Amino acid sequence: MAEKKEPGQARRWTAARREAASRQLHENGTVDGSGVAFSGEDVQWMIASAPRMKGHPHFMNAHFENATFGLPERGSRGPSRVDFSFAVFDGAVTSFEHAKFLGDADFDGCDFLSEVELGAEFRGDCSFNSADFRGGVTSFQGATFHGQSSFLGSTFHGMASFASTTFLDFASFQSTQFKESVQFALPGKEPAVFKSMAFFLSATFAEGAVLTAIADRVELSEAVLARPHEVALVAGEVIASHLTMPQGGVIAVRFATVYLDDVRLEAPTTLVALEPSTTWRYVDRDQAALLDHAFLENSRIRHPDRPLAHDQRGELDPRPRLASLVGSDVANLTCTNVAMGSCDLRSVTGLDRLRLEGATGFLPTPRLAWPRRLTRRQTLLDEHRLRGWPPASGEPAGSPLHGQELRTEARRVAGLYQSLRKAREDRRDEPGAADFYYGEMEMRRRALPWWSVERWILTGYWLVSGYGLRAWRAVCGFCLAVGVGTVLFHLWGFTQTIKKSSPVYAPPPHDWGSAFQASIESTTSVLRSLSVNWELTMLGELTQLALRILGPALLALAALAIRARVKR
């Protein structure tokens, strides 16, 4: 066979070289295909020529550096499929470093008994389903997967590295077992990049893992992170339902919407906003800026309609958005710099022990037109749904609940606010607990029927002081009480009789100054008698009694409201 030069550096074997390779394969399974171009038929010839181990082709020290696989077969224009399925790779090192697979590649069921270097380019779909990597270090560093890649049910017994690996299409690690450490980032190497979905459904990470990657979407549902792990993701969406972390760890996320449904965290676990200077291992700030740009460009191309969050200044908000904790036990969870405004908290347990730190925030009250203008505070998505408020700025409002459905839901939401308030108070964060207390009282009030005496008492408490949290209402109430008292004293509060202790001269009883003086003295004194010179009528006595109760009460409520806002 004449030597045929292929594009690039790879070339076909000559007849003599092929014959020599055949003898070497048959004798000891050794093959050196470095820089050689293979078609699918050539690979099948190697499979047929290799010795057998338990009925499977057995390769020793296979070297295919800079090789090209998948050259078109006779009568075909497209690349051929390369099938190494169920082959055994033994020896010191098996290397496909810098190789190119022009078509689909099949390594299903392969048994890698040696160390493996697979930093290759896979232009078609690639499959390592049920492969067993038992030879120590397995490296996919620098590999590029253009098509779909699958590691379904594979087992990595030694250390595995996917640093600087790029997955341009769907990548599945479903039910994959990593029995030693796995690294998706290393010093001096860029993190792995998943342009589409990184699918780790039911994967098991037995030892410490550095899951640092950029991905459009990450699926970690039913995954097991057996040891303390570091997960650092720049992603559009992270789904981790039924995630198990028996020894806890850190999940650092940037931009992503995170779902943590039915999660059981048996040890302290932190969900934190990914910041290059603090939580992003192996990546400095300059690299992070470039990686952010790459993620955002990919997100705009794949999901042009998916909105990205912005802060109050209109700048892009990189904080993760925790969307759901349905059915989870969050007693060991700490959220740091996480946006929780859209979080679904149904059936959550341990909410009173949830730790909220940094710029972790909930939804603000919507800006409604007068006279329905609302005091600004942090609220839960559940309250927005109950009241029919828009869940976020610019989104349409829903329909408010009514009747028994309203009262039932209000009781549930009141319990959520109570648990969050207790979590803040246990950390001695009184100002942070204030908004949750306000929401709790609002939901308690709405959970009662309109004819309930308790509801009317709570309504009055809300009206005059915002449940002891709005000082301006108490001050306004105090001024109103003084004004009303002045009018009552002026019109009906005084008789025509001068007190015996008064001087000979006294101003007329309908003097506004005397009425204002009587009103001020009544609202600021509980036991001291009035200094005005006229006797009070029965209505004046009742007005004085009411003001002596209301005045100090409103001043106390104002003081309590100020204290609640400034106490540390």
pLDDT of residue 3: 41
Taking 50 as the threshold, does the pLDDT of residue 123 lie above it? yes
Residues 6 or more apart whose CB falls under 8 angstroms from that of 372 comprise none
Question: Residues 357, 424: contact at Cβ < 8 Å?
Answer: no
pLDDT digits (tens, 9 = 90+) for 552-564: 888 888 887 777 6
Taking 50 as the threshold, does the pLDDT of residue 31 lie above it? yes
Lowest mean pLDDT among 40-49, 453-462, 548-557: 548-557
pLDDT of residue 519: 78
Percentage with pLDDT > 90 across the chain: 25
Of the pLDDT bands very low, low, confident and very high (cuts 50, 70, 90), residue 4 is: very low
User: Which of the pair, 494 or 392, is modelled with greater confidence?
Assistant: 494
| HEC readout, 90-149 | ECCEEECCCCEECCCEECCCCEECCEEECCCEECCCEECCCCEECCCCEECCCCEECCCE
pLDDT digits (tens, 9 = 90+) for 304-355: 566 666 555 556 778 888 999 999 999 999 998 898 888 888 889 999 899 8
Taking 80 as the threshold, does the pLDDT of residue 454 lie above it? yes
Question: What is the Cα–Cα distance from 176 to 223, expressed in whole angstroms?
Answer: 9
Residue 245 to residues 133, 190, 224, 252, 259, Cα–Cα distance (Å): 24, 26, 6, 15, 15
What is the mean predicted confidence (pLDDT) over 447-468?
86
- Structural domains in the chain? 1-135 (no CATH), 191-361 (no CATH), 364-447 (no CATH), 471-566 (1.10.287)
Where would I find the H helices in 345-470?
Answer: 381-387, 403-426, 430-446, 453-465
Candidate ranges 203-207, 258-262, 376-380, 544-548; pick with highest mean pLDDT: 258-262
Question: Residues 220, 196: contact at Cβ < 8 Å?
Answer: no
pLDDT of residue 279: 54
Question: What is the Cα–Cα distance from 513 to 503, expressed in whole angstroms?
Answer: 17
What is the signed CA dihedral for 520, 522, 524, 529, rounded to 10 degrees?
Answer: 110
What is the residue-averaged pLDDT of the chain? 82
Lowest mean pLDDT among 127-141, 243-257, 528-542: 528-542
pLDDT of residue 221: 92
What is the mean predicted confidence (pLDDT) over 107-119?
94
What is the mean predicted confidence (pLDDT) over 249-255?
85
Percentage with pLDDT > 70 across the chain: 83
pLDDT of residue 73: 78
pLDDT of residue 373: 52
pLDDT digits (tens, 9 = 90+) for 260-310: 999 988 889 989 888 766 555 556 666 666 666 667 776 665 665 666 665
The Cα angle at residue 146 between residues 145 and 148, in degrees rounded to 5: 75
Question: What is the Cα–Cα distance from 471 to 559, expressed in whole angstroms?
Answer: 7
